[in-house]
Amino acid sequence: MGGGISGHTTAMMLRKLLGKKHSVIVVTPNDKWNWIPSNIWVGVGVMKPEQVTFELKPIYEKLGVEYHQARATSIHPEGDGNYGPFIEIEYTDGRPEEKRKDRLHYDFLVNATGPKLKFEATKGLGPDEHSHSVCTFDHAAETAMHLDEEVERMRKGEKRTFLIGTGHGTCTCQGAAFEYILNLEHELQQRGVRDKAEIRWISNEEALGDFGMGGLHIRRGGYVVHARTFAESLFAERGIKWTVQAGPKQIDRDGVHYETLKGEELHQGFDFAMLLPPFSGVPLKAYSARGKDITADLFAPNGFMKVDADYTAKDYDDWRPSDWPSTYQNPSYPNIFAVGIAFAPPHAIARPRKSPNGNPIFPTPPRTGMPSAVMGNAVAHSIASMIKNGNTQASFAAPMSELGAACIASAGAGLLSGSAASLTVYPLVPDFEKYPETGRSLRYTTGEIGLAGHWLKYFLHYLFMYKAKGHPGWAWIPE
């Protein structure tokens, strides 16, 4: 279920690992695959949607994967007495209403549905209200159009205020907003209107450069410094002002009302805002063979699927890296897995914080991009092994407590004038038993900025588009 980075990776690898007598089926409501990291470039107008997407149907036909353009609505892991495990689906390909609903049998199920974008969590948030988004390629294209309008006003001499960041107190994916604000600043420079723009950042991070990962530390010039030093220097050099520890409560046409961790109720005006929404799991129900609602058995209250994590309620200081999942296998139904954003994290990586009014203001755990693809690859190998060997326990692991990630945040897209902040993090979930100083390896957690990183970002864009299309040698390209 799902044809994004994690689902697409899982399906392609399963098709490679399994013989033709086995069926690999993808159910996704989208007809296009989207390389989401490059939506940032679409959002500032330097790429078009067709450069970051491709049609799924011909790719799956080539690979031998059965494709249904539909959304899953419910899971029946025990069947219904006459029919084995199945999911109910609703087609989104424009067919007549009487033919939209169906059911698909499965022996193994992978939930890779990704998130529901909860714009409704903050009044006035989102493309249908008073802010913009780059979460999807069509959102990003609309954002670029509005940016063009702002540029035209600045060319006529108007001063404009741009506000970029997170639109709710529990948002994740600060990295996407961070990359967007750097690209925005560069693009306004390129268009000759930077002097007419005030650019501001707002986020729920405890400190700039936290990115929802409980703080990052890197070694710079012989010193160990918090990533805030790295991030603040990038902003200061570019004249970007920032506000952190902020939880937006309402977005109006000309500004955002937000609360701080200290309990202050403040307002920040804007002419253009790109604010990311919080995530939840997609709306899925689950039923037993007798039709009993067992949604709470498969899913956490936030809609994400339970996997092999320790969901015991405990204080922040009491959790351990081992609480995090390893195989992404559901504990109740060993033939069900969840990967990428679809799985329920056992706790926050950043320290949970609340305002005096009791409102949470802290990032929820990021689990997109490279980690999502690595999870999908591991689950595909586990399922293939279970089929071939007849075992019920997943044998391939990709624990976030042992996973690293590389992230390249571009800071402009010109071939010679652009640059990028290149970050590596290991492990994603900090382990203070192994690395008591900072929770992470200082050898493998690094940060650099420069033109070379920007070229690498371009290279990776085309490399992963090539891989996702299943071209010759795709399986040799690592996640």
In SS3 terms, 226-244 reads as: EHHHHHHHHHHHCCCEEEC
Q: What are phi and psi of 19, to 5 degrees?
A: -70, 170
Q: Can you tell me the mean pLDDT for 347-360?
A: 94
Does residue 455 fall inside a structural domain? yes
CB atoms under 10 Å from CB of 36, counted, come to: 21
CB atoms under 10 Å from CB of 315, counted, come to: 8
Domain boundary among 335, 363, 389: 389
Query: How far is 217 from 215, CA to CA, in rounded Å?
Result: 7
Residue 268 shares a structural domain with residue 416: yes
Please state whether 7 falls in left (phi above 0), alpha (psi between -120 and 50) or beta: alpha
Residue 222 shares a structural domain with residue 349: no
Query: How far is 224 from 206, CA to CA, in rounded Å?
Result: 19
Give yes or no for a contact between 237 and 464, defined as CB atoms under 8 angstroms apart. Answer: no
Q: What are phi and psi of 402, to 5 degrees?
A: -125, 5
**Residue 200 pLDDT level (bands cut at 50, 70, 90):** very high
Task: Give the dihedral sign, CA 231/401/341/355.
Answer: negative
pLDDT in tens, 296-329: 999 999 999 999 999 999 999 999 999 999 999 9
- pLDDT of 371 > 70? The answer is yes
Whose structure tokens read 């159910």? Answer: 27
Does residue 396 fall inside a structural domain? no
Residue 23 shares a structural domain with residue 141: no
**Residue 202 pLDDT level (bands cut at 50, 70, 90):** very high
Does residue 71 fall inside a structural domain? yes
Residue 365 shares a structural domain with residue 267: no
pLDDT in tens, 72-88: 999 999 999 888 999 99
Domain boundary among 358, 389, 420: 389
Q: What is the pLDDT of residue 408?
A: 82
Q: Can you tell me the mean pLDDT for 244-256?
A: 97
Residue 161 shares a structural domain with residue 296: no
Domain boundary among 355, 389, 423: 389
Give yes or no for a contact between 106 and 72, defined as CB atoms under 8 angstroms apart. Answer: no
Q: Residue 309: name the closest of 398, 381, 210, 441 by CA.
A: 398
Burial bucket for residue 81 (CB in 10 Å: 0-12, 13-18, 19+):
exposed
Q: Which residues pair with 354 in a beta bridge?
A: 360
Higher-pLDDT residue of 416, 48:
48
Q: Which amino acid is at 330?
A: N
Residue 142 shares a structural domain with residue 260: yes
Indicate the DSSP class of residue 299: B
Higher-pLDDT residue of 345, 456:
345
The SS3 assignment for 116 reads: strand
Question: Which CATH number does the domain housing residue 272 bear?
Answer: 3.50.50.100
Percent pLDDT > 70 in the chain is 99
Q: What is the pLDDT of residue 157?
A: 97
- pLDDT of 469 > 70? The answer is yes
Q: Identify the H or E element spanning 215.
A: none
Does residue 82 fall inside a structural domain? yes
- pLDDT of 416 > 80? The answer is no
Q: Can you tell me the mean pLDDT for 243-252?
A: 98
Whose structure tokens read 């199920």? Answer: 109
Does residue 395 fall inside a structural domain? no
- pLDDT of 366 > 90? The answer is no
Residue 36 shares a structural domain with residue 132: no
Does residue 399 fall inside a structural domain? no
Least confident of 97-106, 168-177, 354-363, 416-425: 416-425
- pLDDT of 417 > 80? The answer is no
Q: What is the pLDDT of residue 414?
A: 63
Strand pairing report for 420-425 and 405-410: antiparallel
pLDDT in tens, 46-75: 999 999 999 999 999 999 999 999 999 999
Query: How far is 244 from 233, CA to CA, in rounded Å?
Result: 15
Residue 263 shares a structural domain with residue 295: no
Residue 159 shares a structural domain with residue 260: yes
Does residue 203 fall inside a structural domain? yes
Give yes or no for a contact between 104 and 315, defined as CB atoms under 8 angstroms apart. Answer: no
Number of domains in the chain: 2
**Residue 449 pLDDT level (bands cut at 50, 70, 90):** confident
The SS3 assignment for 3 reads: coil
Q: What are phi and psi of 181, to 5 degrees?
A: -65, -35
Query: How far is 463 from 212, CA to CA, in rounded Å?
Result: 27
Higher-pLDDT residue of 400, 278:
278
Average pLDDT, whole number, for the chain? 94
**Residue 246 pLDDT level (bands cut at 50, 70, 90):** very high
Query: How far is 161 from 170, CA to CA, in rounded Å?
Result: 24
Residue 231 shares a structural domain with residue 95: no
Q: What is the pLDDT of residue 413?
A: 65
Residue 106 shares a structural domain with residue 132: no
Give yes or no for a contact between 438 and 470, defined as CB atoms under 8 angstroms apart. Answer: no
Residue 162 shares a structural domain with residue 255: yes
Percent pLDDT > 90 in the chain is 81
Q: What is the pLDDT of residue 125?
A: 98
Q: Can you tell me the mean pLDDT for 108-114?
A: 97
Q: What is the pLDDT of residue 25?
A: 98
Cα–chain center distance at 150: 28
Q: Which domain holds residue 183?
A: 122-278+404-476
